[in-house]
Chain A
Amino acid sequence: MAHRIIGKPIGRVDGTEKVSGAARYSGDVSVPGLIWGKALRSPLPHARIARIDVTRAKALPGVLAVLTAKDLPGILVGRRMFDMPLLARERVRFIGEKVAVVAAADPDVAEEATTLIDVEYEDLPAVIDPEAATVAGAPVVHDDPGAYEGAPAERPHANVQSVLRFKLGDVQAGFREAARTFEHTFRTQLAHQGYLEPHAGVVAIDEDGRVQVWASNKMPFRLKELLSHALQLPQEKIRVNLTPIGGDFGGKGSLMDLPLAYHLARVTGRPVKMVMRYAEELMAGNPRHPSVITLRTGVSRDGQIVARSVRALFNSGAYAAFKPAPSVSLGGASMGAGVYRIPNLLIESFCVYTNNIPCGHARSPGEPQMVFAEESHMDMIARELALDPAEFRRRNLLRDGDHLANGHHLEHVRAGDTLEAALKASEYSEPKPGPWIGRGMAMTHRHIGVGFTNAVVRLGTDGRVTLRIALPDTGTGAHLVLRQVVAEVLGVAMDDVEIELATTDDFATDSGVGGSRVTHTGGRAAYHAAEKLKAQIEAEAAKLGVPADSLAAIARAAAREGRTLEASHFYDAKAHGAVTSFTAQVAEVAVDPQTGQVTVRRFTTTHDVGTVINPLGHQGQIEGGLIQGLGFALMEEIKTEEGRISTLSLGDVKLPTIQDIPPLTTVILEDPVGPGPFNAKAIGEGSISAVAPAIANAVADACGARILDLPITAEKVYFALKEKERRP
C-alpha cells in the first residue's frame, strides 16, 4: 500500500526549538528562588566513614544546607535491585560515591563548601578486578546482598549480583559430537554513553507539598514510582514534567541526584537544581559494563556449529542499582549465540560487585561487548578451519523456525539476505587495493522493544490535530515518527499534527523511552488512537452530511454541542520474539605497519528492517549508533587504576570527532513484517554492536594481528605485530 507520509524523509518536528536554542532541557529550567546542590564524593574505593564534620562548610557564607546520611532516611534506591543509599552511610564502596551534599544560591559557593567538609575514613580492603571478586575469601562489597529488595535469588558468591542463563539442547553432548573445539577469551573496556548533557534535575516543592520534578530521565512514570519509594511519598504527591533529554543512549533512566535535590529543597524551602560536572559523569555516571567473555565452540567436520558454551563476567561496580531489567543483568548476554543456529548452547552471564563505578545500561546493553567477542570468535574459527569467514557464517546462519537463545521461535529470517547484501555492497570479494589493507565482517540482530504507552489524539476546531503523549524526547526523532503516523491515518498534513507533552499527572502509567520500543509502542498507541478518532470523524461527517475531510467544520459542529472529538489508546505490546532485525557490517581498514594505527577506509552497514517510517531519522539512528560503535572499537575508554578513574574529562576519554568518521555505505532491506505501526520494526540499537568485531576482523585480515581486548588501539596492534615478528 502506498503511503502519503509514511516513508518520507521529513525534517524534525522539534527542529525550530532545538536549532534556535529555545528548547528547555532540565538543566535550563529556572524557577523563582532556585538554588544549587553539589555533592561531595568519596576519594576512596572502599572505606568506613569514621566521622564527618560539616561545621566549616555550614559556616561558609552563602551556604544554605549541608546534608549527610544521618540527616536522611535510610532508604536504599535502585531501578530494580535496591542496594544504593542516597548518601553513603557508614561505608563508601567506590571512588565517586556521594558522601554529603550542599546547597547554596551560587553554584561555585556550593562547590566550595564541599571542600570544607571533613571526612575521616578508615580503609577497607577493596576488590577491583571482577575475576578476583568471585573467588573464595575475596573482600565482600555488600555484606548481605540477598537481603536487598529486588535481589535475584541465585547467588553463588556474595559478590555476584545476578546470574543470567540461556540454554538450548545438551551442551555437553554437543561438544562430544564436535570434530574440533575452539576457545577464546575477550575483554571490553569501561565506556561512558557519551551523551553531552550531564545528568541534571530540578526539584521544587509547591506550597501544598506537591513535588515538581524536571529531570533528564526518559521514563517519567517509572521515575515517579522510584521517587515515591525513595522519598517515602505517595505517587500522587509527585509530578514529573517532561523536558527534552540531551542524549540518553541507555544512561538516563535512574534517579541520580534527584532524591538529594528533594531533601535539599525540603530543608531549605527553595527549589534546588543539581547538575553533574562531566568529571562527575565519568566517575559516577552509570557507564557501560566492562566484560571478560570466554566462548567455546564445537564444530562438526563440515563446518557446522554443534555446541557452544559462553561465560561472561560483567564488572558491575559497587551497586546493582542502575540496571533496570528484572534479571538485574544484561540481556545482551544472549547474543553469545550470535545469528547462528546452535543446537546445543549454554550461556552463563554474571554481573559482579567490585569497588568500582557502578555500571548501568548503555545503547544495546551487553551487546557490543558480547557481539565483539562472539563475532571475533567466529572469524578466528573460520581462519582455523581455512574457511572464508562469510562462508563459515553462511553455513550456520539462523533460518525460519530456528530458536534463539531465549527460546523464541523466529519467522521472516533474513540473515542470509542481509549478509549477501553487505558482501555485495562492500565489494568484499574484490581484490584488495594494496598491502596492509583488510576486510572484516560481523553480524548481529536485535529484537523490537516492548512496553506500554498512551496516546490521545484530539481534533481542534481549526481542523488541526493534537497528539498528546508522555514520552520524553531523547533525540531519536520518535515524536516526528508519531506525528507521521497520526497524519497518515487521519489524512492530514504533517504540519497539521502537533505534539502536546503530558506530565505524569495525565496518565496512569507509561513505560517511557528505551529498549528500541518507542516506534513500536508509541507508534501503535498513536495509530490506534488516530484510527478511533477517524471513526468518530467519519460518523460526525455522515451525521452532518459533509465530506469527512472537512475537519474544521466537523470539529466546530461538535464543539457547538459541547463535545470535543478526541480518542485515546493505551497500547501494551507483549513480547514479540518471532521477528528481529538483522545487521551485517563490513569494515575495510588499513593498518600502518610502523605504528599499528588503524584507519577505517570504508564501512558498509546493512539492515533488515520493517517499514521505514522516516528515512531521514532512520538513517540518522544508523549513523549515530555506528559512530558510537566506532568509538567503542577504536578510541573510547574510561581508564582506571585501582578503582580510581584517571580519565576524568572528555579531553582524555576521546569521543569520535567529525574527522574520525569513515566513508559509509548503507543498505536497507525493507520488509514490512514488523509489529510496529505500518509494519515497522526498530532501528535505534541495530548499528552499534557489530562495528567493533567487523573492525577487529578487518585488522586481523590486514596484518594478522588479532586484538582480543577493546579498544583496538594503535599500540595494541603495534605490539601484536612485533610479537608476530618475534614468533611467526
Chain B
Amino acid sequence: MNRKIRVTVNGTARAVEVPTYRTLLDCLRNDLGLTGSKEGCGVGVCGACTVLLDGKMISSCIALAVSADGHEVTTVEGLAGDERLHPVQQAFIDAGGFQCGICTPGQVVSAKALLDANPNPSDAEIREWMLGNLCRCTGYYKIIESIRAAAQRSRA
C-alpha cells in the first residue's frame, strides 16, 4: 500500500514513494535523509520533531507523510541561507539556548515561526508559543533570552 507523494521540502520539490503508514518524520529522516528533525516522545508532546507545514508548526511524528502530499514542508535544515545561519539559530548559539541539542531543531523551527508571526513578542507570548517545545537541559531561561535576542536582532 505504497503511495507516491510530492512534497516541497525546504524549497525543493521532492517525489517519494512511501507506505501509507509512514510518518512525515520518518519520511523526512529515513526516506529523504533529513535527520535534523528528531523523534523524542513520539506522541506530539515534546516538539523535537517540529516542522512547518505550509508555514505552520506541526508535530511531524504524528503526521502521516501522505497528508503532506502537495504541500510545503520546512525543516530545520531549511532555515539557514547560504553559509549564513538564520538569526534565530545564531541567537541560540550566542545566548546559550541549547545544550545537548536534541530539542534544538524543534526549538529553532518554532522560534522562527513565532518571529514570522510576531516579530516583537513579549516574554508571555514567547512562553505561550514555545509551550510545546520541551527542553531538559537548559531550564528554558536561555531559550527565552535567545528568542528575545533574535527578535531584537531582526528589528535592528
Contact = CB atoms under 8 A, between A and B. Distances in A.
B48 A278 contact: no
A624 B127 contact: no
A234 interface: no
A580 interface: no
Contacts of B76: 19-21
Interface residues on chain B, size class: 35 or more
B108 interface: yes
A246 B99 CA distance: 9
Contacts of B96: 9, 11-12, 616-617, 619-620
Interface of A: 9, 11-12, 14-25, 27-28, 30, 106-108, 193-198, 244-249, 275, 277-279, 473-477, 616-617, 619-620, 623-628, 649-651, 655-659, 661, 664
A478 B100 CA distance: 11
18 contacts: A12-B98, A14-B101, A16-B93, A20-B76, A21-B77, A244-B100, A244-B101, A248-B100, A278-B41, A619-B142, A623-B142, A628-B136, A649-B42, A649-B43, A657-B131, A658-B126, A658-B140, A664-B141
Contacts of B36: 20-22
A279 B43 CA distance: 10
A147 B116 CA distance: 63
Interface in B36-71: 36-43, 45-46, 48
A18 B42 contact: no
A196 B134 contact: yes
Nearest to A109: B19
Contacts of B77: 20-22
B139 A624 contact: yes
Contact of A475 (B48, B101, B140, B141): B101
A650 B104 contact: no
Contacts of B40: 196-198, 278, 650
Contact of B138 (A24, A108, A623): A623
A624 B19 contact: no
Nearest to B43: A649
Contacts of A247: 99-100, 102, 136-137
Given A655-B134, A658-B131, A20 B100 contact: no
Contacts of B41: 196, 278, 649-651
Given A12-B96, A658-B133, A658-B143, A196 B34 contact: no
A196 B99 contact: no
A625 B46 CA distance: 19
Given A11-B96, A628-B136, 7 more contacts: A15-B92, A197-B40, A278-B40, A475-B100, A624-B139, A650-B40, A658-B130
Q: What is the predominant secondary structure among interface residues of chain B facing chain A?
A: loop
A21 B99 contact: no
Given A20-B79, A20-B80, A246-B100, A658 B35 contact: no
Contact of B128 (A9, A18, A616, A659): A659
Nearest to A13: B93
Contacts of A476: 99
A475 B99 contact: yes
Contacts of B136: 193-196, 247, 249, 624, 628, 655
A196 B103 contact: yes
B17 interface: no
Contact of B139 (A249, A275, A650, A661): A661
Contacts of A278: 40-43
Contacts of A248: 100
Contacts of A20: 36, 76-77, 79-80, 85, 89
Given A16-B85, A196-B102, A246-B101, A106 B19 contact: yes
B99 to A, nearest CB: 4
Contact of B141 (A24, A108, A246, A661): A661
Contact of A245 (B100, B128, B135): B100
B48 to A, nearest CB: 5
Nearest to A197: B102
Contacts of B101: 14, 17-19, 23, 244, 246, 475
B11 interface: no
The 6 closest A-B pairs by CB, nearest first: A21-B36, A475-B100, A246-B102, A18-B101, A627-B139, A15-B93
Contacts of A106: 19
Contacts of A656: 140
B12 to A, nearest CB: 15
Given A15-B92, A20-B80, A197 B100 contact: yes
A244 B19 CA distance: 31
A649 B62 CA distance: 14
Contacts of A23: 101
A472 to B, nearest CB: 11
B40 to A, nearest CB: 4
A299 B83 CA distance: 66
Interface string B88-131: 01101111101111111100100000000000000000111011
A659 B131 contact: yes
Given A20-B36, A197-B40, A623 B89 contact: no
